[in-house]
Amino acid sequence: MTILNLFKIGIGPSSSHTVGPMIIAKNFTTLIKEQNYFPNITRIKIELFGSLGTTGIGHQSDIAVLLGLLGEHPKTIDTNKIEEFILNIKNSLTIKLLNEKTINFSIKDDLILHQRKSLPFHPNGIKLSIYESKEELFSKIYYSIGGGEVLSEEEINNTFNKKDITLPYSFSNAKELLKQCKENKLTIAQVILENEKAYRDEKQTKESLLEIWKVMQTCVNNGLNSDGTLPGGLNVPKRAYKIYQKLKDKRTIDPLAFVDWINLYALAVNEENASGKRVVTAPTNGAAGIIPAVLHYIVNFLVNKEDKEKVIIDFLLTAGAIGLLYQRNASISGADVGCQGEVGVACSMAAGAMAEFLGGTIEQIENAAEIAMEHNLGLTCDPIGGLVQIPCIERNAMASMKAVNAARMALNGNGMHYVSLDLVIKTMYATGKDMQNKYKETSKGGLAVHYVEC
């Protein structure tokens, strides 16, 4: 229930398929070292199941796992060295676990992407096994459950026995969150800031949020200044650089010119993500452009310099509050509930936070978040070639504008509305569970199969 689990600094192109698998591989390798298996290991085998197996290559899950075995972490890895690390493994036919223990390794035989097998708990399952000659020494199953969050099989079983952290203003749904705000005369941002004190002091929370914002800024800036073609074989040209060249010195009286900028910020982030560069999950990598796009719009166009820090912190706290509701009561994984759980959730988070910035009441904020999700219900995940490019990049731009629109619609009402945020979250989850697997990050349906390369 901490918002810092929703905003993680990592690398592209996918939080569930790149960030999660890298963390899993690093956790497993650290564990086997701690358990003193290193002297005896002669082989390590990694199996990717479900959505990780079917779209793992396009989402670079295979590369992520190898990097994790080397001891790399998504937050700290030097993204310019990834190619060199992978080439070393390929050419030497060895891998140096945690940069310490070298064993033979064949990507073809030891890294298996199952196309038709899944593990029971979640579509993104990974099994890692170690051997001494042919005898299995140890194995463990993990799941990458969305937004870079990972769980081992034991953690799933122990979840309900875990000692709960007591939050000063606990809530399990939007209705309870609003009740806490009203009873204690606090804004949503203030409730979250108080609750985050259960994990760290206020200063640290604020510093972490500003660090997250800094990474978002760097990501936008890198995207705006990076021309060329996206990797992966589809040869999709990057657009942010060219649009930026057009917009940056343009004087215009077009009142809708800000739309171009919001689109541009989202394209910049998602092109960086598709290029495997550093991004912040917000709440996932596939949907990483929406919150930074709306926040860049606010910071660059709508606030004074002296107010910026508070605006940024309150925006991320409010967006985080809404994200927590989805994480707790539904899912933020495209493999679990389709793109409504990624782009839909990010849109809802950004809409609520934008409404907060515009001075909305807590009811209007809840309404904005609800409107944004209501019009993303049923959104499928069907990335062409298993790459987080088409429709993902453009979809972030569309959803960023949808978030702004939802906030403005909510601000023009009085907060009263028929469908509550809790109901729309419940509906999103039920819709996702009803959705056929081919529309849930498998690249077996929708655009992914109807697109034919000429």
Write phi, then psi, for 129 (nearest 5 degrees): -135, 145
Query: Of the ranges 195-203, 221-229, 334-342, 425-433, which one interacts with ligand SF4 (CB under 6 A)?
Result: 334-342
The answer to whether 334 contacts ligand SF4 (rule: CB under 6 A) is yes
Which CB atom, from 320 or from 383, has the smaller least distance to ligand SF4? 383
CA contacts within 13 A on the Cβ side of 38: 17
For residues 314 and 374, which CB has a smaller minimum distance to ligand SF4 in the complex? 374
Q: How far apart are CA 267 and CA 220, in angstroms?
A: 9
Least Cβ distance, residue 121 to ligand SF4 (angstroms): 19
- Spatial contact of 353 and 197, defined as CB atoms under 8 Å apart: no
Out of 336, 342, 366, 422, point to the residue binding ligand SF4 (CB under 6 A). 342
Is 287 a binding residue for ligand SF4 by CB under 6 A? The answer is yes
Smallest distance from the beta carbon of 391 to ligand SF4, in angstroms?
6
Among residues 222 and 284, whose Cβ is nearest to ligand SF4?
284
- Judged by CB under 6 A, the chain residues 366 through 425 that form the site for ligand SF4 are 381, 383, 388, 391-392
> Is 320 among the residues that bind ligand SF4 (CB under 6 A)?
no
Closest CB 284 distance from ligand SF4, rounded Å: 6
Is the Cβ of residue 287 or residue 421 nearer to ligand SF4 in the bound state?
287
Q: Does residue number 332 form part of the binding site for ligand SF4 (CB under 6 A)?
A: no
Tokens of 124: 């993104």
Name the minimum Å distance from CB 344 to ligand SF4: 9
Q: Which is nearer to ligand SF4, 147 or 360 (CB)?
A: 147
> First-to-last CA distance in the chain?
47
Q: Does 339 bind ligand SF4 (CB under 6 A)?
A: yes
Residue nearest to ligand SF4 (CB): 286
Q: Given candidates 401, 441, 442, 444, which one binds ligand SF4 under the rule CB under 6 A?
A: 441
Residue 286 contacts ligand SF4 per CB under 6 A? yes
What sign for the dihedral angle of Cα 195, 201, 204, 206? positive
Q: Pick the closer one to ligand SF4 by CB: 63 or 287.
A: 287
> Which x/- pattern over 215-244 shows residues binding ligand SF4 (rule: CB under 6 A)?
------------------------------
Q: How many residues bind ligand SF4 (CB under 6 A)?
A: 12
Based on the shown chain and the rule CB under 6 A, indicate whether residue 336 belongs to the binding site for ligand SF4. no
Q: Which residues of 116-126 are buried (b: 16+ CB within 10 A; e: fewer)?
A: eebbeebbbbb
C-alpha triplet 400, 447, 266: angle, nearest 5°: 20
Residue nearer to ligand SF4 on the CB measure, 167 or 343: 343
- Tell me how far, at minimum, the Cβ of 341 lies from ligand SF4, in Å: 7
Any idea of the CA torsion for 299, 303, 306, 308, to the nearest 10 degrees? -30
Q: How far is the CB of 314 from ligand SF4 (least distance, A)?
A: 26
Q: Residue 56 or residue 391: which is nearer to ligand SF4 going by CB?
A: 391
Q: State yes or no: residue 271 binds ligand SF4 (CB under 6 A).
A: no
Burial of 268 (0-12, 13-18, 19+ CB in 10 A): buried
The nearest distance, CB 384 to ligand SF4, in angstroms, is: 9
CA distance 404 to 247: 20
Contacts with ligand SF4 by CB under 6 A lie at: 286-287, 334, 339, 342-343, 381, 383, 388, 391-392, 441
